[in-house]
Structure 1
Amino acid sequence: MDGTLDHVMIRVADLQTSLDWYTTHLDYEEKDRYEGDGFTIVYLGPEDMHEDGAMLEITHNEGEELELGDAWGHIAVRVPEGELEASYEQLMDEGVEDYRDPESCGGRYAFVKDPDGHEVEIVQRDHGAKWSLDHTMIRVEDADEALGFWIRKFGYDEVGRWEADTFANYFVEPRDAAPEEMAVELTYNYDGRTYDYGDSWGHLCVRIDDVHDDWETLMEREAPDYRDPESCDDLYAFTKDQDGHEIELLERDPAADSLFPF
């Protein structure tokens, strides 16, 4: 089992403010929407995103106050090679707050924040639509356990790493993934710190072929039994990694009228 990373979910305090931010500054469009009892879910992404590109899911729960934790780090979006500074200046001209400009990041990347304080990294790539999701970074407390989870449980490959004096970044993605697919960045700090989840960070979602068969595979590989398919009306399921990050398993029919399994 090496399902594609389908989306990353974050929670937002004001739905319209967040929609305006992502559609205005990252040129995202609304792919689909689900209005539930007291909550709204919206899928967003570039108009010309790759068929296996990941979407951003923003969830708004009515009356909920959100608190950022530090267990999740950021989403990263792509701009073409050589366009980092121009893309950052474009965002500044549009009124986005200056957070970490390219110069402060050695000219290799930059960061902005969305209205809820979620960090958005800007990276240069020669593939994928502009502003498409490149990776999602989560923080882990044991690098060996984190890598083992994704490699053993999901059959992912480690495709890159950066080991510095005080921390290391490890990138994992599905075996034979297209360049346009999203990866997971596992960040490990050497000082033994622990992390707070808050409630603004939601989950990663892996798109799989059969929710029941793939769930059984995960159980055989000793993944945490968090929310099995039966408890989710046989539409999806959830496991957790070794640190408690939630991971959704979802079947999706590309030919269906709705992106949601409801």
Structure 2
Amino acid sequence: MMRFPIISRPWLFLLASATRLDTFHAFHNTVSRPAHRHSSSLSSSTTDQPDVSRFVTGSRPAGTEQYVMQQTMVRVKDPIKSLEFYCDILGFRLVMFREFPQWEFNVYFVAPVDASDIPSSKEEQWKFCMNTPGCIELTWNYGSETQDGLVYNTGNADSTGTTDGQNVKGGFGHLGITVPDVYEACARFAELGCEFTKTPNSGGMKGLAFVKDPDGYLVEVLPRGEMIQKPIDHAGVAVDGGEGYKDNSK
């Protein structure tokens, strides 16, 4: 089990926390204000600050009221060590896990919930997980635990975890939302011009999708209830088609 050192100078921690809090309040007070020009003593140029006030107020777009920010996926080298960290140290619980030996990976969903609230059946665990905001999906690809050193970079630097500066696999996987109907949501996303790496019926896993954000980060689209399949998705892919497992979700 991983251990963290005890803070021997708590006043330093409190001072740092207060500084971060002041910074947060300063940022928060500017969110709803009109755009203004910001001058920096570190640069001779000025920057027009974007007006983001409209994203704070108003109703959610029609059809998105039940969308849930359900998960962030990260790849892990050793599932037991990762579960010890998130469950034993951070206090999360293992809400649900699934094993996919045919594709040589497993997924473990952890969240800060009470163990007594987690259903006992796999079917109910799925529903509970898909409706719990803020889960972390720990994805373990078979064999990674046998490799020396760190296996994945964290998204902060391609050479993280290497001694020779060579690129390694990305540790960050995707964000994830749950929606009432995956097929209807994806049809809407397509109408809005979104790019998909996997439509609901493509790939080996049916009834879920992956869409790209403007920077190319993947967002997985999952159902809030049972994983249903429809004969044809918005892209015209039949449920019995779509070829094999080609998306980069694992």
What's the TM-score once normalised by structure 2's chain length? 0.48
**Which is strand-richer, 1 or 2?**
1
What's the TM-score once normalised by structure 1's chain length? 0.46
**Which is helix-richer, 1 or 2?**
2
User: Whose Rg is larger?
Assistant: 2
